[in-house]
Structure 1
């Protein structure tokens, strides 16, 4: 009589996905550990198993976890390419479950992503992920998957023309918020923006996402309707920005600009004049202050104004250089935020000052012909500065 060998059989039709177990699988937690976690928490989607410490019931739960892990491993290649998942005929998976599988698989971990922002998505960076795993207290394979997801999207779409956001949503079927995160991660990594210097350590992933989003919307070639990839800055825009040097090169314009800003700031902050003057200025006689034609200039200290002006103009006029563009975030901190913080201004006051700075700059004839270019730059730069300033100032002093 022929002996039939024992075989393990896994049969599937309408698949059931236990997303609690999927959550553990995505974090590379072993089946044994997951079983223990489910038993200790008493939570599971398995209605026919009463979870307790009984060895038989626990073995049933363990088998269920293994079945789920086996299923996840089989569908993973399709989940990595969502357009394949939604057209495959091997598994009967509802559209809602497909969407949940993809969005959870591609979900970004802020701590891990923070460590790879701006770095080249290469084998060398992947080899260094053991340091990221140790720093973030995440499992190495989890870090690998986060990196591989970013690299997969980058490699798939690096030569696609048009909107990177639209391309990601079309090819990977991700929800818009998540697609925006990948858009910025790919953008910052493609252009190698410096995000890891010590002075930038206080910034979070969401801070970079917001600033990067502004750059993509205003500074890239695709933002002008060009068919060039959205991972490229608009070269014509960057070259025209060099003309804003007039704001710092002409001393008369500098003085007039500071005077205009002081007048506008005094309308919003009438007490600022007392706070910004030095003790010597405060002790001057009332008569001498009245006679001073340019007393309103004192509302914005000359040293502060010159530092901020040089900082903004330097950043703007040098963006056409690749290295200077890569140092945008560190330049913002060193050349603009640090001088502003010396005044202990609140976020709202800094925002008002920068908005007034931007609008009053266009009152000069020399700047009016570059008004569109200046607005594109200043809108993005100011919102980025305010975001970064607010983050570094955890308490609003207003």
Structure 2
């Protein structure tokens, strides 16, 4: 019994000519000289990942290309923490020897990481649409790395203060968590195609309306104390019961001022000075703080005024979810 196998074949007679290699030959370069030039150019291709995907010089499969790009754009959290909040300019690049000395990372590595952050920032800062997708599509980065660069760009774009002395205890991962929280709750989600690199200005203006909660302080306190009893230690419960006004007004007054650029830029230092340091002084356990913020948010949502004004309830929930997502990772020694 004969069996037949069908095979599709394609025959072509077009010769592929790499214009860069051809130009090097025209210029009279030897094979070794051309190879050296191409090797140097190959490194430069990493600065423009889409070009690396389309070139013919370096024969790599897709998995290898992705690995090479990912490794080139990976950064060390210690180095990026020192870069974070600084203006991404040539002048700052000259001071990277201090970063190298402080972090014990090679100066060339620090320069590569600084240049990558600057390149990503300059590429996407003016682009419309999702910050996350702009980073990912322009640099072919894996999800986790695209999100980390999104946080770096977001902090730089909004000029958040990260370098004051009282903020030095915070790590890159702390600021990354804060940036993700703010991007998620105070602007369009990072996966949203309509998102931008800025905090939503209309939302910041709406935060001023939360001042009406000061008139509902007694009702709010009653709801918080009812839900909080048994979830925190008696010491912390007594502290909240006696000083609810202080904790509540700190958060609400902070919200009221965020529509001003300086207040927004100083968000992290304000959280440390006005909320975190007082709680540390009273030895609040982290779990008790988490419980308080959860109950405080939930009780605010259930106020009668919130039921009558669904828009206000949405603003309150967005604000408290965002601020809680900052306070919790920032609350450590």
- Structure-1-length-normalised TM-score: 0.70
Question: Which residue matches 1:260?
Answer: 223
Residue 243 of structure 2 corresponds to residue 220 of structure 1: no
Shift of residue 323 of structure 1?
A: 0.7
Inter-partner Cα distance in structure 1 for 2:139 and 2:190: 22
Residue 77 of structure 2 corresponds to residue 138 of structure 1: no
Residue 266 of structure 2 corresponds to residue 300 of structure 1: no
Q: Tell me: higher relative CO, structure 1 or 2? Use CA pairs within 8 A at least 6 residues apart.
A: 2
**Deviations, residues 48-90 of structure 1 (Å, cap 9, x unaligned):** xxxxxxxxxxxxxxxxxxx9xx876331111111110011012
Inter-partner Cα distance in structure 1 for 2:58 and 2:301: 61
Q: Is the 8 A contact 1:120 1:190 kept in 2?
A: no
Question: Which residue matches 1:116?
Answer: 83
Q: Is the 8 A contact 1:308 1:335 kept in 2?
A: no
RMSD (Å), alpha carbons = 2.4
Q: Which moved more, 1:346-355 or 1:259-268?
A: 259-268
**Deviations, residues 326-364 of structure 1 (Å, cap 9, x unaligned):** 111111111111222233222111101111011111233
Q: Is the 8 A contact 2:133 2:191 kept in 1?
A: no
Question: Which residue matches 2:117?
Answer: 150
Inter-partner Cα distance in structure 1 for 2:61 and 2:266: 46
Shift of residue 218 of structure 1?
A: 1.8
Shift of residue 159 of structure 1?
A: 1.7
Distance of aligned partners of 1:140 and 1:211 in 2 relative to their CA distance in 1, 3 Å threshold: same
State the aligned residue count: 301
Question: Which residue matches 1:347?
Answer: 286
Inter-partner Cα distance in structure 1 for 2:34 and 2:96: 37
Question: Which residue matches 1:164?
Answer: 131
Distance of aligned partners of 1:224 and 1:102 in 2 relative to their CA distance in 1, 3 Å threshold: closer
Distance of aligned partners of 1:165 and 1:72 in 2 relative to their CA distance in 1, 3 Å threshold: farther
Structure 1 gaps of 5+ residues are 1-6, 13-66, 277-296, 393-398
Structure 2 gaps of 5+ residues are 1-29
Residue 304 of structure 2 corresponds to residue 365 of structure 1: yes
Inter-partner Cα distance in structure 1 for 2:227 and 2:189: 36
Question: Which residue matches 2:22?
Answer: none
Inter-partner Cα distance in structure 1 for 2:138 and 2:39: 21
Residue 259 of structure 2 corresponds to residue 320 of structure 1: yes
Q: 1:377 aligns with which of 300, 319, 332?
A: 319
Inter-partner Cα distance in structure 1 for 2:250 and 2:92: 32
Distance of aligned partners of 1:300 and 1:222 in 2 relative to their CA distance in 1, 3 Å threshold: closer
**Deviations, residues 16-48 of structure 1 (Å, cap 9, x unaligned):** xxxxxxxxxxxxxxxxxxxxxxxxxxxxxxxxx
Q: Is the 8 A contact 1:162 1:222 kept in 2?
A: no
Report the structure number with the largest CA radius of gyration: 1
- Structure-2-length-normalised TM-score: 0.83
Question: Which residue matches 1:126?
Answer: 93
Distance of aligned partners of 1:254 and 1:346 in 2 relative to their CA distance in 1, 3 Å threshold: same
Q: 1:330 aligns with which of 269, 272, 287?
A: 269
Inter-partner Cα distance in structure 1 for 2:39 and 2:163: 34
Counterparts in 2 of 1:1-398, with a 5 A limit? 9=32, 73-220=40-187, 227=194, 230-248=196-214, 250=215, 253-269=216-232, 272-273=233-234, 275=235, 298=238, 300-303=240-243, 305-368=244-307, 369=309, 370-389=312-331, 391-392=332-333
Question: Which residue matches 2:3?
Answer: none
Shift of residue 224 of structure 1?
A: 11
Q: Secondary structure at the match of 1:89?
A: coil
